[in-house]
Every structure is written in C-alpha cells, then in structure tokens.
Amino acid sequence: MVETRQLRLHKGLRVTLIHQPDAQQAAALAQVAVGSHDEPDAWPGLAHLLEHLLFSDSARFQGDERLMPWVQAAGGRLNATTLPRSSAWFFEVEPALLAEGAARLADMLAAPQFPSEAIAQEAAVIDAEYRLIQQHTPSRREAALYTRVSAPSAFQRFHIGSREAFGDDMAALKEALHQFHQRFFVAGETQLLLQGPQSLAALEQLAHDFAGRLPSGRAAPRAEEIRFLSQADIALTTHSPGALGITFYLHDFTHDVRDNVTLLREFLQDEAPDGAMHSLRQQAWAQQLTFSWLSLDATGSWLALQFDTEQPDAVCAWLAHALRALAHTSSAQRAHYLQLAQQRFAALTPLDQLRERAFGFAPPAQTTHFSALLRQLAQAPQARLWSAASVQGEATETQGFSLQLQPWTPGHFHGALPPLRFHPLAHRHAELTPPADRAPLISLAGDAPATLLLRPPFFTAVSPADAAAIDRRLRPLFALLRHQGGAGSWREAQGVWQLEAQLPAGSEGWLASLPDALRLDGSPPAEPPPDDVAIRELLRQLPQAVAARSATGRWRAALYGGSPEQQAVIAQWLAPLARESDDPCPPPRAGRCLTVAHPSRDRALLLFLPAPPEVSLAALRALALLMEPRFFQRMRVEQQIGYVVSCRYQRCADRDGILFALQSPDVAPDALRAQCETFLQQFAIAEEAERLATLQSRLCAQLTAASARAEKLQRALRQAHGLRDLGRASVDALTPQALRQAQAQLVIGWPGAVALETRCVETQ
C-alpha cells in the first residue's frame, strides 16, 4: 500500500515522501519557485541557462560523477524544465542508488561551480534550441496565447535565451548567474519529492540530508495575478492541422480544488461509446484533447485545454455543454471516474508520478471539491486561440517569435449538441458464440486478472499509418474495458506495436470486437503528420527501416494468468487473429540509408547498428552503459554537435543493437555519421574490476525490473520462437575481454548499420 508523508523541515524545505513498496525504481524531483518570470530584464533566458548549467560541475561532484553522466551510466532517466514561475530537476534510478543520486541533486542545486567553458557551451546549446523552437508549433501557440496577457508583463518577454541575449561578456554573465542562484536557490523556495520502495523513515533521512546542503532563507514575494486583454481571443497562422486552445485563469486556487482538474480530464477524455471524447470524434469535431498548465502558483493558475479540430465554433459550444452536464453527475459517477484517474496515475513510473504531482495533475483523494472546480471554471476569465493554415494573420514580433496573428471571435453554433453519458451504466450482456477454432496461445500461470499480449510476427513492423488507424479503432474499446474493470493499451515497445489488455470476467463482447479493430486495411491509410521535432520523426520511422518486412495482419498471442476456462474462451475469440506459424527469422535489412523529408532546418541522424549474433546481450548492453555518458560528453560538451545527443542499447523490430541519435543546427548528417563511427572505433574499455562489477549490478537490476506481466509475456513469445534475451548467466560471465570483442564486432559490422537522416522541406 502506498503511504505518503508531507513535511516542512527546519530550514523551510517542503518535502513530500511516497513509500511505494512494489516500486522497481526510485525517483527524486526538486522544484524551486523561480522561473523565467524572475529573470533580470537585462538577462532574458537566464533561468533557462541556469537550468542547463546546474548539470555541470558542483562542489562535491565533477566529471563523470556529476548527476547526468552518473544517471546515464546507471541506466536511469533524468531531465529538467524551466517554467514561468518554477524550475525542476528530476531523475529515476534503481532503488539502491536513490541516496547517491539525491546527494548529487542537492549538491548541484546548492553549490554549482559555473565553469566558464560550461557557460559558453550551454549558451551555444540554448541558442541552437532557440533556432529550433522558431518553427515548433506548440511553442508558437503558447507564445500567441501569452500575447493575450496584459499583466504581468513578464509573459510578453523573451525567455528562451540566445547567443545574442547572453552576449560576449562571460564574466558579466557568470556574475548574473551567481546572483540569480544565490537569491532564489534557498530551502524556503524549494520543494523535494522522493518516491521509492524505501520506508518513510529512510526517505525522511534522505530529505534531511538534502536539506543540509541548502542555505536557509526565503525570497521576497513576487507573484502577480494574471490579467487578460479585453479582447482575449486570437487566431494564429500555422502550417499544422487546426487546433483550438481554450484557457481559464483560476484565482485563489487551492490544492484541493486544483487536483480535481485531473478528475475533470478523466471525464472529458472518456473515449467509451457516448463518452465525452467519443462524442467529439463521432461528430468529427475533434480527434484529441490535451490538458496543460500554462502557469501554476499560489496566486492562481492558468489552465489550457487544446483540441485538435477544424470546427472551433462547435467545440466551444460543446465544452460549455459538457461542463453543464458534469455539474449534474451523481456521486457514484464521480467516484467511478476518480477511481479511473487513480488507476491511471498508479500505472505510471515513480518519476512520472512525481512529475504529475509537481506539475499539477495528481488525482485528488476524493471528489468533494469537484463542484467547486466547475463553479470556478464557469466564472473564470478565458483566453482562446484558434490556429490553422487558413488564418490570415498580420506579422507580429513577440517573445522572440515572428507570429502571424489576427483578432478572432468564435461564431455562434447552431447545430445540435450530442448527449453525453457517464458511467457506470446499466449493461445488457448479449449472448455471443465464440468461433469453433482456437488460436495458438502461450499461457503463463499467474494471478488474476488475465493479461493478454498481442503482437505482430517477429521481424515485421506495423507502419505508422496503420498503427494510427488501429489506435483510433481501439481507443473506444480500451475506454469501455476500463469502465468494466480492465485496462488496455496499444503502444510501440522496442519498435513493435503491441496490444496489452487486462481482461476481467465477461470480456467476450470486447474480444469479439478485436478482429475488426486490428485489421490492416488494404489501401494505404493517410500518413500522420510529421512530428515537429526532427529526431522524434526519425524514431517513428526507424522500425519500418529495420524490420525485414511489413506486418501481415496475423498476430502472436500470449496470456498471463486467468483460469483454464477463461484461457480456453480467450483462445477461441482470438482464432480469427492468431494462427500457427514457425515465424521464420529472415535476415534483417542492413546497410540502408534513408532520407526523411522534414520541415526543420536542423540536421538529424538516427543510426541503428545491429549486433551480430555472436555478441552476447550482456556484453552489448554493458558496452552501451559505458558508452552513453562518454558519447554525451564528447558530442554535446566537447564538440558541441547539438542539443540532441544519445547513444544507448536498443531493441528495434526484434533486433538488438546500439542506437546513435544526433540533431544539430550546423553539422551535416554525413559528418555526424563519421563522428559516431570514430567514437566507436576509439572508445577505450578499462580493465577495472570495480567498473565491471558495477556494470553487472546495473544489468541485474534491469533483469529484476523487467518483471511486469508484459515483459514476461514478451520473453515467453521470444523463447517459443528461439530468440534470445538477457539472462543472469550471461551477466555473471561478463568480462572486459567480452566487452572489447563486442566493440570489435560492432566496428566490423558498421557497414550494416541502418541510418535515417532528415532533408529539409520548406513549408508553404
């Protein structure tokens, strides 16, 4: 059972501790109440630059011992973000490493060294980010909304940072960083969140150790309520599909009321038949709805709902209609949707749960304040943004962007608004007859509920277009399954699109709908629009380039848990989808170089280097752990290639290998590829027994973490088809010689790499 404790330590540090007994990972997040709005006028982008620089040397930890390379070497995750009124740094590692990570996090916040070379490097990186973000549609939409604020003036200010904004006087910039840091990075402005399987007492001790590194103090109050212009609605010219943002400013917003926004999101994103989101899709008014906070602090909060739509007038009318309907929901319905929101939250990793808590989307403990939220939304000042290619705006320079804006007012909607139905509903179960045949179904003994995994044959790939079409058909089925006590997902894992579903008793009707939902259409479906970030678009395209062939429409099935009777029924319902096959393993595509058209002017390269069969998975994955921080150091820090730099182990379309990812504003893909090859050739592997033991420990931790039902089912399917997986014996047998042999084999196999690179295509 999850236990939570909140504290305020003697220095003023606010602490949230979460004991999660079954957690396979542990996480920490430090949030400081300082953001881009707090920068001196003379130094726009200073908060963003400081966010980057805190990952450089601190008083106690330099070089490879800094938090970033240390977490990378441990196979963990980390990141940071600068918001208008706060900044946060966070990481996730195996539980045994949480104390070491928290010590590094505390030291980098309390005692950064600001090396001059690091300042110059990160200023260059931020300048490259600024150039990239110029064409980033979500950032442009956010900047357009900020023009609707009349106060505070900080919303109108340039805050990303650039080489020009930082100037050439490194001494003056360093002094500004010191002063900014000393003013705000004190215990009274900081909140620490810790989560893991450790006891609350152990987590509290970590918090006390963390607080010991921070100076005492509070900064002077400085937050100011947001006020909108009298004409608060605006339209923006974009090259992306149409989108409507509807924002609300909520005054005097307590945490109890704020957390109910997560419950509101659960109601409005309901994709079950006749649910709120399903009604939008059925009317072809919108395909997606996302929630975000544009600003979040003690004085008030600015909430944004964004709809992907070409019908802004209808959506504006629909939202008002939906909020009125929610005011009449019963206590049983609110309790039901709250349970769904809590289940969704519980399924997140510890790090993602901390992010939701810190950034305003943790579910409430109860529904008591939901009516208060609805009343505040009804009375809240609004600012709305309609963005589309059809908008004929006038050029406006604001916040470092060149935007085409025009005044806009949604028109009056005269159509009929669809009725909305909220669960729980009374269901009448129709009698269904399953097929006579049975699908081949690998079954693993386990606790109920039964968990089903469906994936395409090995070494095949579902195209992005087919994956998007299947996703649209599965969404209402998954939503209905959640209302029935189950859960489902359609996601890409290791380059393979797969369905995972927890099936409660009585799921026959749901199973009967799967063949139609999972069909691969004969005619090519419409391609989804490219991702705004070039490297992410290449990642989306990679499985198709690595796979031996396209998916055939037949599926491999495995089941964890469930009674023998339930297993037999499930096998019958899967008969139209899964059939016997030996799944021959043809050689994968290799030695390919594909060019992907993309509107970004950046040069992006994704290079997947498959490992030859003679390279053990333990050696491959250990080598990747060694290379990741050093690759980052060489490309990102020493050579300043760009802002996306990654080298890691990757399984893609059932092939194991090393994945290099680079995105640069200046360096051509051919040069990036040469840099990767040189790095691999020159990489030196040390002999230290201590380093080897650390690698083995990290790999064993990854084995332990891969204990979820989906991972067990994946392993069972791979074993049934003669494919290998990481095992404890190969980890124990790891030697420096095996690492060097793996490196040599990868160097020899370099011509077999699959490379994807971008080619700039100007948008019209």
Q: Active-site positions?
A: 51
Chain-centre distance for alpha carbon 230: 36
The residue among 616, 650, 655 whose CA lies nearest residue 743 is: 616
Half-sphere exposure of 691 (CA within 13 A, CB side): 15
R_g of the chain, CA atoms, integer Å? 26
The residue among 558, 555, 546 whose CA lies nearest residue 653 is: 546
In 507-534, which positions are buried (b, 16+ CB within 10 angstroms) versus exposed (e)? bbebbbebbebbebeeeebeeeebebbb
Token pair, residue 272, equals 């079950």
- Residue 330: count other Cβ atoms within 10 Å of its Cβ: 10
CA distance 763 to 760: 9
Diameter of the chain measured on Cα atoms: 79
Q: Contact 499/489 with Cβ under 8 angstroms? A: yes
Beta bridge partners of 234: 385, 407
| Burial class, 751, CB count within 10 angstroms (exposed 0-12 / middle 13-18 / buried 19+) | exposed
Dihedral class, residue 300 (left if φ above 0, else alpha if ψ from -120 to 50, else beta): left
> Strand ranges (DSSP E) for 494-612?
496-503, 549-550, 556-560, 593-598, 603-610
Residues 6+ apart with CB under 8 A from 542: 495, 606, 608, 652, 754, 756
CA distance 17 to 7: 8
CA distance 166 to 116: 13
The residue among 319, 270, 327, 306 whose CA lies nearest residue 418 is: 319
Residues 6+ apart with CB under 8 A from 522: none
CA distance 381 to 227: 8
What secondary structure, in 3-state letters, does 461-524 show? ECCHHHHHHHHHHHHHHHHHHHHCCCEEEEEEECCEEEEEEEECCCCHHHHHCHHHHCCCCCCC
